[in-house]
Structure 1
């Protein structure tokens, strides 16, 4: 248990101090490039169907996860440090906050062009003509959704892996989650090219985020009073809107943020010039300000810490 706490704490401190380095040599970036090569190989060998995508998924994810297990297993007394580094490269809480800040600061100076450009770096919706309130909405929705994908799911897998196989299991599970999530980002599209080849990557990613997404609602609710929200309202809002998104997991985080901040998110959103009629999430204030984005950033940090506490409690009870 001590090793788990050390690894978890060191990983969070590393992220706080170093953030997520934007480099083509970052392990996730290298994995993404490897995915391109494996895709070409699998399509040439097995075609463009589901089996080909499954083969590519297995070829990429299993060896790297096994390598993470082996490196940690044979690190001896340095196992907590190795597990911490591996967990660090799978989470990105500081990166979420930096992206939000890059939107909030120019927006507070009324530099809409810069704020729109910054938002376009993290969302796929059209941003060129968005008014300030919609820019803030997009940024907050990104925080709510990516808190699950970029932070909490890896932390959850790290905890479950520790219960199953001590620190080597924790490291392997966190790496497994990040590999699967990256393959979803590479292959998990509902278009002609990836409809079948990317189906396994998309479905596995949905499955892996299932429990972390629901636990994220609980963590956000517990953290809500720290930003002026209410636990009961956050839980009700997040649960009410849990199915109001094509993704089976995303609305749990975005609905939770809407409830905790007592604002309204969602609604019609334009992608590539085509409006998508998303429902509204939350019944709070619709006109959003940079102050709401700052509160959302604080909620992201607080929710991450609460989520870690919940995991520590769970691990201590199960060990």
Structure 2
């Protein structure tokens, strides 16, 4: 029962995500995590717990509260019928996986490239940088950067956490990512308060970020791109980003596609001269064909990740 229920949960959640995409409803768990984070933050700030201790308490309260809600509701439903608890898990798993949503964001940019204004608007839903002054090459480059970065934290870590550790693993990963996006900043008032959220996010994505490189290499090989170049570029250029994790998949994508990514980026009117990922001989002024290749590479990576995840789910079921 445990074996079949866990594997069935993973399969059904992936199929629902592929078919319907990320569901939109008021009580979406990520939205509730955000609401809970803000409520807890305000309470701790009123108590003047704005330092490291407050940040740790905030992290424990939100992550622990999310797990408690999942367990409590599952226990209540399970007392009525075991399959009600399983359906509760399925709803959460489907809501927290967002593989199709990532691909859909990139596809919307690709489909809008004929209208630069629309393409910039579609890109603005994916990135935090200024998009109003980007030309088509800049729009494509930023899209590929977002797709490749989010392959790790938006696909690999949540999916494999679900496969290995079940719903608790997926809930923890999504709670950690949500907290990092809300308080994991180095600016006031979160320099110390957000430390726990930022470090936890670095930790949970550390291994999947590095495993993304052989995954991208395999996908690139299947697509007859440049798998060895992806490896060498990731190994050489991953440190160009401040994040300890983001550079691995971004640099691997740059190598697989043989394009330059990053470079000068404008945030809130301020120009930041980021180093390029990739060889100087590769193009940085990208076009629709490059984004189309990136989307196909992303799909290949997702398909391989699901296959690996199912293997992990089978192993996890055997351990239980």
With normalisation by structure 2, the TM-score equals 0.90
Equivalent position of 2:286 in the other structure: 288
Task: Measure how far apart 1:314 and its partner are.
Answer: 4.3
Task: Measure how far apart 1:317 and its partner are.
Answer: 5.4
Q: How many residues end up aligned between the 2 structures?
A: 309
1:93 aligns with 2:99: yes
Q: Where does the alignment leave 5 or more consecutive residues of structure 1 unmatched?
A: 162-169
SS at match of 1:190: coil
Q: Where does the alignment leave 5 or more consecutive residues of structure 2 unmatched?
A: none
Equivalent position of 1:173 in the other structure: 169
Equivalent position of 1:14 in the other structure: 16
SS at match of 2:271: strand
CA distance in 1, matches of 2:310, 2:254: 27
Task: Measure how far apart 1:198 and its partner are.
Answer: 1.0
Task: Measure how far apart 1:77 and its partner are.
Answer: 4.5
Equivalent position of 1:118 in the other structure: 122
CA distance in 1, matches of 2:236, 2:24: 37
Equivalent position of 1:41 in the other structure: 43
1:218 aligns with 2:236: no
8 Å Cα contact 1:50-1:196 kept in structure 2: yes
SS at match of 2:126: coil
Task: Measure how far apart 1:248 and its partner are.
Answer: 0.7
Worse-superposed segment, 73-82 or 271-280: 73-82
Equivalent position of 1:166 in the other structure: none
CA distance in 2, matches of 1:58, 1:317: 29
8 Å Cα contact 1:69-1:171 kept in structure 2: no
Worse-superposed segment, 128-137 or 304-313: 304-313
Match runs of 1:1-319 below 5 Å: 1-69=3-71, 71-72=73-74, 74=78, 76-77=82-83, 81-107=87-113, 109=114, 111-161=115-165, 170-283=166-279, 284-314=282-312, 316=314, 319=318
Task: Measure how far apart 1:249 and its partner are.
Answer: 0.7
SS at match of 2:266: strand
8 Å Cα contact 2:10-2:310 kept in structure 1: no
8 Å Cα contact 1:268-1:277 kept in structure 2: yes
Task: Measure how far apart 1:71 and its partner are.
Answer: 4.7
Task: Measure how far apart 1:34 and its partner are.
Answer: 1.9
With normalisation by structure 1, the TM-score equals 0.90
